[in-house]
Structures are given as structure tokens and as C-alpha cells.
Amino acid sequence: MLLFSIAAITAGLSLGTEILSPLKIYRIITEPETYQFEKTIFFQLRVPRVWCGFLVGSGLSVSGLILQAILKNALAESYTIGISGGASLGIAIGIITGRMLAIPVFAFIGSMFSIFLLLFAGSIRKLSSGTLLLFGIMLNFIFSSFSLLTITLLQKERFMEAVIWFMGNLGSYYSVILNSAPLFLFPAYFFAYLYWKELNIFSLGEEKAATLGISPDKKRYIWLGIAGLITGYCVSLAGLVGFVGLVIPHTVRILVGADHRRTIPASILAGGAFLVIADTIARIIVQPIEIPVGVVSGFFGGIFFVLILMKTTGKQKW
């Protein structure tokens, strides 16, 4: 996984409109005064964008891993159960109010609101796992549409920017939000890895979790809050990037097994590498035009989603 991440980061730093070979990158770092133009491209464009892609990919992967364990649904991830849509609604409110520095907070509040609606509907109507997933998908579309409508009505000059952002875009991040990863993302990773045994127990079912001394109801809210925090931060950076949290956890389980002591760090590395590669493809596939990274991740993720759906249809969800 580490070698795969290094290869993906190297490709992301090298490929683009201006191709920078690994040797040239080394010279740019060691002799910056000789390569002024390339230095600007490398340090001001490529490095922050690759770092942003790695953070978002790793965050969405860990969030999907947590949600699939807590909800015991193979198709659960932040995009399919509506958390990303709720985060986008919070971000739209933050943009309209002009509080750009507080966008991650608005995103977290929006994601928690979406989780509350999901749990409320599930407890009141006793929805099945599959029906709850469909309810989440509808929530995602409703929140995203309302966010786009709000921005369109109140800030027409930012309409096209908002459209691209809602499709998933790593080129429109805010530097302040990117630099705040140690405050939002890293503590969530640390917490998830510290309590990996709880995720293993949740994967066995609520009854077994209760017999092993874990309160499923209380712990579920804590883990959903962690997933909402991670999702809110990722959406505030790159918009609605779908299916990363679906594809990577399943792939990682195939490679390293279902033990969360291994799947959490593996998801961080594989998810980050996957989105960096997807963004690199989005930048070079139709040069000089850059397509949103959400289009690439959605294409591969959508195919994977259909395959998983066909596999689980008519079977009991794990």
C-alpha cells in the first residue's frame, strides 16, 4: 500500500500540462533558483493539489469503512447515505454567510443533520438496511439540489464554480481548510485506529456487541459523529466526490482481510492513492481541459456499486 501511494503521488506530481520527470523534480527541489517556472508549477500547484487529493481520498475511505461496519451494509458510504449532501448544504450556508474560515464547521453540522434525519427515519419507520440506503441516496440529492439552488439564487456569479464543485473538484480548495487537516482529520484517524476493536465487534452484529460489553446505541452515535466529521472536512475541501468510500474499503478487505487494525491504515493509503490517480487522469485525459475528479471516481465507483448491488441482491446484508 505504501509503495502504491508513493507511485500515485509521483505520478500526480509528474503528469499534467507540463510534464516533470522524477529527475527534474529532484533538481527543482535541490536547485530552485535554476527552475523558476517549474518551481512555481511544482510547489504552488502540484504539491498542494496532490496533498489535497490524498487527504480527501483517505478521509472518504476511512469514513466509508466506519459506516459499513456500524450500519452493517456493504453499500454504505458518506455519498450513498446522504452525509455528503448534508455537508454540502452546510457549506452552501457558510459560503452565503461569508464565513469561509468556518466552512469545515458548517460542513460538520450539515453532515450531522443528515445523520440525524437518517437515524430518525430508521427508528420511527423501522426501515430495512436496503430501504435506509435508498432514503440516504434521496437525502443526498435533495440536499445537493437545495444547496445548488440556494447558491444560484443568492450568489449567481458563483454558479459555475458551484456546479464544478458539486461534481467534485480538487482545484478549488481553500488553503486555510487544507492546512487545518491536523485539527480535523488526523485526530479522527487516531481515534478510529485506537478503537479498532470496537469496529471489529460492531461488524459481528449488535447482539454480539452487547454481550461483549459495548452499548451499540451509544457507541453508534460516537462513530457516526466521527464519520460525519471526516466527511464534512473532505466535502469542504473537494466537494461531492462519490464512491471512494465504497470502492476502497471493499478492495482493502480483499487484500488485507477484515481486521480493522489493518484495514484502517490500508484505507488511508489506498484511498489517498486512488483519488490522486483519479485526479491525475482527470487532468490529462482531455488536455488542456481539466474535468472534475468526481466524474472519474464516479465512473469507476458507479460500476463497482452496480457489481456489489448485484452480488448482494437477494442475500442477507453483512
Task: Show pLDDT as tens, one digit a residue, over the chain (318 residues).
Answer: 999 999 999 999 998 888 888 888 888 888 888 888 888 888 888 999 999 999 999 999 999 999 998 888 777 888 888 888 888 888 788 777 766 667 778 888 888 888 888 877 777 766 666 677 788 888 888 888 888 787 777 666 666 766 777 778 888 777 888 888 888 899 999 999 999 988 888 887 767 766 766 777 678 888 888 998 899 889 888 888 888 988 899 989 989 998 999 999 999 999 999 999 999 999 888 877 888 888 888 888 778 777 776 765 555 444
Vertex 166: Cα angle to 288 and 245 (nearest 5):
100
Residue in 117, 129, 132, 116 with CA at minimum distance from that of residue 73: 129
What are the helix (H) ranges across the chain? Answer: 2-14, 22-30, 36-40, 47-71, 83-97, 103-125, 129-154, 159-166, 175-178, 181-194, 196-204, 206-211, 216-238, 244-256, 260-284, 293-312
The domains located in the chain, with CATH, are: 2-312 (1.10.3470.10)
Q: Tell me the Ramachandran region of residue 82: left when phi exceeds 0, alpha when psi lies from -120 to 50, beta otherwise.
A: left
DSSP one-letter code for 32: T
Cβ-defined contacts of 310-313 (< 8 Å, 24+): 312/74, 312/75
pTM confidence score: 0.87
Residues 6+ apart with CB under 8 A from 8: 272, 273, 274, 276, 277, 280
Residue 298, judged by CB atoms within 10 A of its CB (0-12, 13-18, 19+), counts as buried
Residue in 42, 15, 14 with CA at minimum distance from that of residue 29: 42
Question: Cell numbers of 112, please?
Answer: 450531522
